[in-house]
């Protein structure tokens, strides 16, 4: 058995060396042929890197919303007539709804009502877009897994006394107070001075529209106790809105968020008399939907990128067919001195595989560069995974084999006598 293997291995290594020399003798042609594979492999890796980066960002973002959370949002009226129509049957989302939900919804761990305001005046003046003012209960910090960078969060006592204190998001802090420590400093929002008692670490935000609608820019916010915004601020332009803008609910471990959301909808439909002036978002369900959409997006992008590999394979077939024609006499000589059809097939197939391997290797480097360039130019997170490299490289080698078989078989079928006569 071993005596047969050595000649076979030597034969393969000999064919590999011969194929390499033949390709090196035509460097320009070989490079041009490999370009399709290089761009194809790079495009596949780049598209998969975009998909992996978007998937990671979406997962981290939804984790900040909380996979055990149920988020209730009020829907503002669009006109005076719509507001009057609603107020005939409901007072909108309010503190009474919060108490009813807490009393009747099973598995509730924490609840925080929410009121927002888009202030028109800040001191110091923001260097970027003005932050949103968020009035929330202290439990909001646990519901949304706050990570404190400086100081601490406000307490139930601060909320009960409508204390003029605030916690800044990372973007709001740098936009208002710069990069120096902020705790203990004051900012003026409308006509109220607020003392900064805490600063949050940067949180993940999402570029996806359906996710952004659930939370907006999570870093450009000023958080204050709910009673502070209710009793110290007046929203002159918010008369079309409900008393509360939202209610965030965290469920206990093991609770069914989908079932809890259905119960919450039923409760609010009852108290609002079917006014349909609210929405309920389930981050866990949002995550599943996002992942499904991401899979479709990845498949489409990879399919588009794979067209480059197909074009590269056609280029390999074309160049090997031309090589067969140019080396017809050489094939005849090899057949005349004893080469078998299998030897001829192996020789030309080895050349097409070498082109695809070289193109795949350079394509991996191009894929890394493409991912880096997209991340820098578009500010989009990209992640190059080992699986994307293996997939792209494996497909490129497969393309070399598939598209190299026909030219190799055609070369092996050339009649030796006719080949020796070929000029």
Mean pLDDT by 10 residues, the chain (423 residues): 51 68 78 84 86 74 70 90 88 92 91 93 90 95 90 95 96 93 94 95 59 62 96 80 92 85 92 90 71 74 75 82 77 76 80 86 91 84 86 85 84 72 58
Strands 246-251 and 278-281: unpaired
User: What per-residue confidence (pLDDT) applies to 4?
Assistant: 47
Q: Which residues, in sequence order, are bridge partners of residue 186?
A: 195
Cα separation, 277 vs 88, in Å, equals 13
Q: Is the distance from CB of 215 to CB of 205 less than 8 angstroms?
A: yes
Closest residue by Cα to residue 318 from 65, 27, 34:
34
Question: Please, are residues 119 and 169 in contact by the beta-carbon 8 Å criterion?
Answer: no
Task: Give the DSSP letter string of 197-225.
Answer: EEEEPP-----SHHHHHHH--TTSEEEEE
Give the three-state DSSP class for 278: strand
Structure tokens at 359: 């193109």
d(CA 351, CA 405): 11
Tokens representing 281 are 């978002």
What is the structure's pLDDT at 288? 67
CA 129 to each of CA 120, 122, 135, 154, 236: distance values in angstroms, whole numbers, following the listed order? 11, 11, 19, 25, 20
**To 5 degrees, how large is the angle CA 206–CA 218–CA 143?**
105
**Could you give the 3-state DSSP secondary structure of residue 66?**
coil
- Residue 291: the pLDDT is 67
The token pair at 5 is 């293997």
**E-assigned strand segments in 274-346:** 278-281
Distances (CA, A) of 146 to 184, 200, 204, 246: 20, 7, 11, 18
Spatial separation of the C-alpha atoms in residues 278 and 93, rounded to whole Å: 8
3-state SS class at 217: coil
Q: Report helix, strand or coil for 75.
A: coil
Predicted pLDDT at 207: 44
Look at residues 148, 146, 294, 133 and name the one whose alpha carbon lies nearest to residue 216.
133
Nearest by Cα to 164 from 143, 144, 138, 188: 188
Q: Break the chain down into helix, strand, coil percent, rounded to 5.
A: 60, 15, 25
Q: Please report where in the chains the tokens 């570029």 appear, as a residue.
A: 207
DSSP 130: P
What pLDDT, on a 0 to 100 scale, did the predictor assign at position 189?
A: 94
Q: What is the pLDDT of residue 63?
A: 60
């Amino acid at each position: 058995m071993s005596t047969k293997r050595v000649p076979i291995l030597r034969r393969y290594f000999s064919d590999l060396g011969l194929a390499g020399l033949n390709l090196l003798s035509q460097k320009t042609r070989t490079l041009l042929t490999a370009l399709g594979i290089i761009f194809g492999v790079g495009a596949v890796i780049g598209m998969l890197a975009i998909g992996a980066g978007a998937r990671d960002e979406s997962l981290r973002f939804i984790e900040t919303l909380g996979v055990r959370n149920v988020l209730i949002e009020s829907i503002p009226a669009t006109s005076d007539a719509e507001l009057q129509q609603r107020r005939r049957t409901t007072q909108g989302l309010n503190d009474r709804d919060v108490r009813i939900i807490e009393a009747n919804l099973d598995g509730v761990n924490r609840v925080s009502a929410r009121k927002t305001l888009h202030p028109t005046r800040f001191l110091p003046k923001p260097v970027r877009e003005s932050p949103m003012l968020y009035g929330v209960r202290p439990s909001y910090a646990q519901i949304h897994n706050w990570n404190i960078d400086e100081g601490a969060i406000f307490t139930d006592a601060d909320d009960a006394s409508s204390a003029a204190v605030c916690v800044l998001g990372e973007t709001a802090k740098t936009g208002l107070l710069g990069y120096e420590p902020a705790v203990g400093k004051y900012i003026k929002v409308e006509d109220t001075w607020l003392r900064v008692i805490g600063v949050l670490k940067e949180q993940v935000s999402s570029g996806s529209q359906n996710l952004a609608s659930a939370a907006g820019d999570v870093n450009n916010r000023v958080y204050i106790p709910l009673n502070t915004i209710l009793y110290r601020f007046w929203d002159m332009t918010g008369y079309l809105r409900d008393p509360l803008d939202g209610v965030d609910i965290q469920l206990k471990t093991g609770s069914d968020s989908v079932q809890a959301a259905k119960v919450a909808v039923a409760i609010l439909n009852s108290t609002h008399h079917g006014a349909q002036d609210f929405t309920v978002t389930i981050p866990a369900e949002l995550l599943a939907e996002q992942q499904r959409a991401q899979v479709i997006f990845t498949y489409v992008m990879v399919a588009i990128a794979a067209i480059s590999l197909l074009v590269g394979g056609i280029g390999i077939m074309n160049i090997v067919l031309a090589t067969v024609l140019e080396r017809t006499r050489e094939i005849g000589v090899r057949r005349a001195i004893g080469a078998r059809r299998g030897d001829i097939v192996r020789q030309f197939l080895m050349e097409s595989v070498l082109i695809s391997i070289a193109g795949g290797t350079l394509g991996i480097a191009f894929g890394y560069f493409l991912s880096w360039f997209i991340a820098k130019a578009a500010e989009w997170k990209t992640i190059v995974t080992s699986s994307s490299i293996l997939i792209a490289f494996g497909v490129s080698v497969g393309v070399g084999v598939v598209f190299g078989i026909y030219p190799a078989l055609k070369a092996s079928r050339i009649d030796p006598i006719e080949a020796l006569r070929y000029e």
